[in-house]
Amino acid sequence: MAIHRRKFLGATAGAVAATMAGCMGNDGENGDGNGDGDGNGDDGGASAEIVGETLTLTTTTSTYDTGLLDEVNAAFEDRYGVAVDAVAQGTGAALETARSGDSDVVMVHARSLEDEFLEEGYGVNRRDLMFNDFVVVGPEDDPAGIDGMESATEAFQTIADTGSTFVSRGDNSGTHTKELAIWEAAGTEPGGNWYREVGAGMGDALNQASESGAYTLSDRGTFISMQDDVNLGIRVQGPIEGGPELLANPYGVIAVNPAVHSNANYDLAMSYIGFLTSPEGQEIIENYTVDDKQLFFPEALSEDPNFQQYVPEGWSSDGGE
């Protein structure tokens, strides 16, 4: 966890000193000095009005557990002087928290759930942010014999047919949503003693699968960041390594609609989305590696933008679906 020190402008020093004086409330900065963290020659441009403000982000466990979030949030704090309070939940929970107006911006990865969120009017200005992919991981001895299969549905079908233990997130997260979609595409209703819903984050699910010699569906990022600690290997690759498109894992970022929740910190949320989808933010995502492997692939910049990223998929102005 790199410590990024911020460079405060004279105008902000007073505000910071005040917060450092020990007000333990919902305060902003715990600034501890100066010195420009990344030497990009940009001194932050933070104005006295926004320093001390916080932005609440609800996101998925995968962005947090891989360490990507620390990286981008530190850069955002450097630039805007605004601290990001990141609450890592599953995609479903993250959207639910935003629905009740308890967060300002969401970073999630389940398009069907995101679309509901947009259609209900809770979110505005969705942007494609980045993608990685899902992989089917399992024990070294591969009891179901799915190693190297080209098709996720075939692999799932085989796991079900052989009754090999499968750990499901079971937490209404993006990964869980994807897993259910694969079962549906495979035409199999998972159930029985071999299918275990653990109701936990990706890291927990990988640990449990490792302990009990089970298969599970994981996002590649979290798996790579944990692979030294678990006795699991990738059995079916995702599209990044030439696997099926079904295993693609796109992430979106959405601002909470300020017309629905007047307390939503909309301008900061848009600054955050703007930063993440800017060349600078996208470069940070591109350059983030664990064990020399790139975990996330930026997707926001395009000369030919995909208009579907702004609206629920399949939506069109002449009457929808």
Quote the CA–CA distance of 221 and 137 in Å, as a whole number. 13
Would you call 162 helix, strand, or coil by DSSP? helix
Site string for another protein, 6-25 (x = CB under 8 A): ----------------xxxx
Q: By CB under 8 A, is residue 133 in contact with another protein?
A: no
How far, in Å, are 44, 168, 176, 276 from residue 98 at the CA level? 28, 25, 19, 19
How far, in Å, are 168, 177, 213 from residue 231 at the CA level? 17, 25, 8
Exactly one of 62, 165, 225, 249 binds another protein (CB under 8 A); that residue is 225
Exactly one of 51, 130, 137, 230 binds another protein (CB under 8 A); that residue is 230
Strands 54-59 and 83-88, how do they pair?
A: parallel
Q: Which two tokens stand for residue 267?
A: 């301008």
Beta carbon nearer to another protein, 70 or 197: 70
Site string for another protein, 238-267 (x = CB under 8 A): -----------------------x-x----
Positions 71 through 130 that interact with another protein (CB under 8 A): 71, 73-74, 76-77, 83-88, 100-102
Q: Which two tokens stand for residue 133?
A: 């992919």
Quote the CA–CA distance of 166 and 160 in Å, as a whole number. 9
Beta carbon nearer to another protein, 29 or 114: 29
Site string for another protein, 284-303 (x = CB under 8 A): --------------------
Q: Are the CB atoms for 187 and 123 separated by under 8 Å?
A: no
Burial 273-284 (b: 16+ CB within 10 A, else e): bebbbeeebbeb
Beta carbon nearer to another protein, 15 or 149: 15
Closest CB 257 distance from another protein, rounded Å: 13
Which residues lie near another protein (CB under 8 A)?
1, 3-5, 22-26, 30, 56, 61, 65, 69-71, 73-74, 76-77, 83-88, 100-102, 200-201, 203-204, 206-207, 225-226, 229-230, 261, 263
